[in-house]
Amino acid sequence: MNIAIVLSGGTGSRMGLEIPKQYFVVENRPIIAYCLDTLDKSEYIDKIQIVAEEQWHQAIREWMVEDGIADKLLGFSAPGENRQGSILNALTDICNVAEDYDYVFIHDAARPLLSEDMIKRSIEGMEGFDGVIPVLPMKDTVYLSKDGESIDSLLNRKEIFAGQAPETFVYGKYCVANKELADSGEIGKINGSTEPAVKAKMNMHMIEGDEMNFKITTQADLERFVEIMRTTK
């Protein structure tokens, strides 16, 4: 079974919106509904677990029912102290339905342009690996600066990649990796979903990312998404 974990616990405070960005309505649909629709239609996703504040649960259910995409909804999990804490909460909540060999597919609600092709390549890319992460190559020259003011060295951009979501993992191994970090008090220091897997020496497979699968983080990102949806209607 392949279970998608959709992270929707962010506050969107950096954008100055009155509501979290993932619930902002674009072309008559909240942003979260776009990736949920793609996940619902995908033959590669069996169930969906959503991490969100309790005050949004009913609204999300209603949106999904209205769009006819509620059949795969497994349930909701509480947001954690950070992104990885939210993931751990979801991993724990699905333990009664997920087997160790199942896959968890982790995606951000604020990445609305998830494609069926990305889902397909992520799941199929798991063959022979413990996890899959889509990456983008660095286009610009990359420097290392330890103090943020002066350059210490030039990095080989051919060896540097930017990670994206979705990230896919073997449930059992990834769950253990995260619980070990939580037990050691390190879960709050994790910066990316793949970091626990790397620390646990899970065999990760990098696949080609998608420039269109950007995360809405700034006002400029939101304006870009609005324009895309208006021109593709």
Residue 45 lies in a domain: yes
State both tokens at 139: 């286009």
Cβ count within 10 A of residue 33:
23
Task: Per residue of the chain (233 residues), give pLDDT as tens.
Answer: 999 999 998 765 555 667 899 999 999 999 999 999 999 999 999 999 999 999 999 999 999 999 999 999 999 999 998 999 999 999 999 999 999 999 999 999 999 999 999 999 999 999 999 999 999 999 899 999 999 999 999 999 899 999 999 999 999 999 999 999 999 988 988 988 999 999 999 999 999 999 999 999 999 999 999 999 998 86
Residue 156 lies in a domain: no
Whole-prediction pTM value?
Answer: 0.93
Residue 200 lies in a domain: yes
- How far is 34 from 53, CA to CA, in rounded Å? 19
CATH number at residue 182: 3.90.550.10
Residue 7 lies in a domain: yes
Residue 155 lies in a domain: no
Amino acid at 98: A
Say how many domains are in the chain: 1
Count Cβ neighbours within 10 Å for each residue of 152-189 and write b for 16 or more, e otherwise.
eeeeeeeeeeebbbbbbbbbbbbbebbeebbeeeebee
Instruction: Give the domain range for residue 208.
Output: 2-131+162-231
Residue 139 lies in a domain: no
For residue 232, what pLDDT is reported?
Answer: 81
Residue 145 lies in a domain: no
Residue 138 lies in a domain: no
